[in-house]
Structure formats: structure tokens, C-alpha cells
Amino acid sequence: MGYLPYLFDPRSTILLAGLMGIMMSLVLFFMRRSYPPSIRGLSDWSRAPLIAFVSTLLFAARGFLPDFATIVVANMVLFQACVIYYAGSQQFLLGRSDTRGWTALNLVLGMLMFWFSSIQPDFEARLAIVTLAVTLLFFFHAMLYVRHKVPVYGMRLMIGLLLAQSLVAGLRFVSVIMGMAGTSIMEATWIQSVYITMYSFSVLFLSIAVVLMATDRVHTEFEYLATRDPLTGVLNRRALLDACLAEFAASHGTQGRPAALLMVDLDHFKSINDRFGHQMGDAVLREAVSRMQRVIGTQGLLGRYGGEEFVVLLPHTTMADAMTIAARLKEGIDEPLPPDSPAHAVGSFAVSIGVATSDGVKDVDEVLAQADEVLYRAKALGRGRVIATATA
């Protein structure tokens, strides 16, 4: 009673899990070749199922090959495959991986497997040790994703699968403590069938979760690139105008919520390009953006309007507050370039700024035109100054 000799064959199920792992490994391998290098973890994720397949061959050879190969090596290889999978998740989420502690635990696991298979054979002790180690590894793996709290379906699926695998391994550990270990991994008991079947499905669905996560990451990166200026990393003109339209619509939908626009132009930028070359000009643009972002912080959005012109969108900002921010922005840019700056050879540079608000104006283009008009007034008056529409 409790055996399923005709419905469940552990050896066949283990081999089937290995074959599914190979197929998913190939999928992830080709994804790694076609996806951008910024999607990290795919290399580890594609290697892990292949390594796990080696372990399934060794497990399935139980009774045909020496116990050292089918017990000690098989368990160590399988556990290391799980560690490599964990390393892939670390790469994907953190950009780096450190699994030295788990690898050291695997060495201890191997020594214990050798002791309880060759020195003092004890299947119950081996099963308890392995299931406890697997429970901990999958739990910590799941917590890695939980800590990131990213509402992406692929990550939610990954968390669910890892916790389910941890739970099943934990229940198998409890069953050993309760005297339900059995006598061999190849016993077709119901509890063994649940344990092995869960592992088989995990191989498939964890890889599916990886595909979903990587695809979502690529989609997010493409969306980001589509809205960013490739040189400076700030919003490009289209994304900037979209943000302005959305903010102006909100400000007119709710009274008392004006928005301000700062039109910023780098003074004498053409002469910088002519004297120092376009690469130095690019370095000046990046330095100017860095300084502007430090001043703006989370108060607004910065975008490149074209050439050396930038626009700062300041939501919920009156003219007086916008002038204060513009003055701080100009002061920050006026500071001499430090020796470690790529644009140090230029020495210093300045900006002219035109300020306009949406107060009483419904059209974004009209506010941009007002800001542009007073900007050129500032440049005509000698550059290096801030002028608002109220003083135009």
C-alpha cells in the first residue's frame, strides 16, 4: 500500500525531467545569443539545466553504476545546478553573483553523502540532508525575488515556483523525520512521486519564468531607449513633449497647479566644438546635464530639446519658485570644471535660461514659445543670465 508501480516510474520521470531541462537549456542558450548583454543571468540559466541533466543520468543509473557516482556525485551535481540557477537570478537582479557559501555547503553535502553511502550506509540520513539543503536553497532563492518587489508576472511565477519547490522539499524532509523515508529513491511511493514530479515540473516552469522575465526586461529597456537621448541619457524631445502635455493637462484639470518650463541653452557652444572638437563638445553636454540633474533632483524632468538646448519641466511650480530653481541651476553650471572632468580642458561654460509658466496658458507650444522668446532675449542682452516672461 502506498506504492504506484504502474502509474509512476521514478527512473523514467527523472530522465524525462532531464530531457525537458535540455530543451529549455537550448531555448535559453539561443535567447542569450540574441538578447542584449545587459540582460544578465541567461548564461547561468542556460548552463544549469544541462548540468542538472548530468545528475538525472546518474540518478537513473542507480543500481547499474557504483554508488559513489549515483549517490555522491549525482547529488552534488544536482545541488550545484540549483546553485548556478541561483547565481543566474543574482546576475539578473543585482548585476553580480556570489554563491561561494552555497558551493561550500555542496562540498559538505558531498562528504556527508559519501559517509552515509560508503562508510555507514543510511538512505534516511542522506534523504534528510539533501531535502533540508534543497529546502533552504530554494527558499533563499525565492526571497531574493521577494525583496525586489517588482510587479512583473514572470517574477511572481518564479517566486511561486521556488516557494512551491521549497515547500515540497521541506515536506519530504518532514516525512523522513516521521519515518516515511522509504528505502530507495526508486521506490514508487506516493510521497516520492510528488517529490520527483515537482522537480520535473520545476525544470520546465522555472525556465518559462526566466523567458518571461528576460522578455519583460528587454521590453522595458527598449521602451527606455525609445524615450532617451542617446548622448546624455535625459528625455529625448518626443518624450519631453509628452511629459509636458500630460502635466499641462493635469494642471488645467485641477486649479492651483501651474507648471513651469525652463529653456536652457549653453552659451558659445559652437565655439567649444570649433576649438576643442566635437568629442569635447559631447563631454561638455554630459557635464552640463549632470550638473542640471543635481540641481533639479526629483523636483522636475530634464530633456534635450535639440542641439545644446534643454528644457526643464517643473510641475506644481510658480514663477517665483521657478526663478529660484533657474538661478540655482545657472550657479551650478557656472562652477569651474574640476581636474577629473572629461571636459576639464574647456575650463568653464555658462548658460542662458528663459522661464515661462502655464499659469493662464493652455497650450504647451505657447509656453515653450514664451520660454524660447525670453531665452533669446537673455542671449541678446549678453548671455549668462536668467529672464522670465514676466520681465520680457
Active site residue 308: yes
Query: Distance between CA 240 and CA 248 in Å, rounded?
Result: 12
CA nearest 195: which of 204, 206, 186?
A: 186
Residues near 38 by Cβ (< 8 Å), separated by ≥ 6?
221
Q: Are 367 and 313 in contact (CB under 8 A)?
A: no
Q: Are 222 and 282 in contact (CB under 8 A)?
A: no
Strands of the sheet with 301-306, listed across from one edge? 301-306, 309-314, 260-266, 351-357, 386-388
Check the CA dihedral 215-217-223-226 and report its sign: negative
- State the residue for C-alpha cell 525670453: 374
The secondary structure element, H or E, covering residue 135 is helix 123-146
| End-to-end Cα spacing for the chain | 93
Q: Are 231 and 282 in contact (CB under 8 A)?
A: yes
Could you say which of 187, 247, 287, 308 is catalytic?
308
Q: Are 392 and 354 in contact (CB under 8 A)?
A: no
Residue type for position 203:
V
278 C-beta neighbours (distance < 10 Å), count: 10
CA nearest 18: which of 64, 65, 50?
A: 50
CA nearest 172: which of 202, 194, 187, 188?
A: 194
Cell of 168: 515540497
- State the residue for C-alpha cell 527598449: 222
Length of the chain: 392
Query: Distance between CA 370 and CA 379 in Å, rounded?
Result: 14
Strand, coil or helix: 5: coil
Return the active site residues.
308
